[in-house]
Amino acid sequence: MLDKNEYKFIKNEGDWKRFLKKERIKDYSSIKVRRAKMKGWAQFAFILLRIYIIIMLAIVILGFLHLA
């Protein structure tokens, strides 16, 4: 964790980039991350989870309306 007293010189983006270069730290926040493709059983499980959530929301709504 950065100590404020130790790193007061970082006031803007340029200071941050110079600090990363000086310390030889890779700035992972600037790297774009691709979304993973879901395949097989994981995709099937998430489809079932969405269906389950929709059914539960419908039951809760019916419960609040006292129609069930």
Torsion of CA 28, 30, 34, 36, to 10 degrees: 30
Q: pLDDT, tens digit, for every residue of 14-24? A: 877 787 778 77
Enter the pTM of the model. Answer: 0.47
Higher pLDDT, 11 or 63: 63
Share of the chain above pLDDT 90, in %: 32
Angle at 25 between CA 5 and CA 10, to 5 degrees: 30
At 6 the pLDDT is: 61
Higher pLDDT, 67 or 16: 16
Higher pLDDT, 9 or 62: 62
Instruction: State how far Cα 66 lies from the chain centre.
Output: 37
Domain ranges within the chain, ordered by starting residue? 13-65
Measuring CA to CA, which residue among 30, 8, 5, 4 is closest to residue 17?
Answer: 30
Torsion of CA 57, 61, 62, 64, to 10 degrees: 140
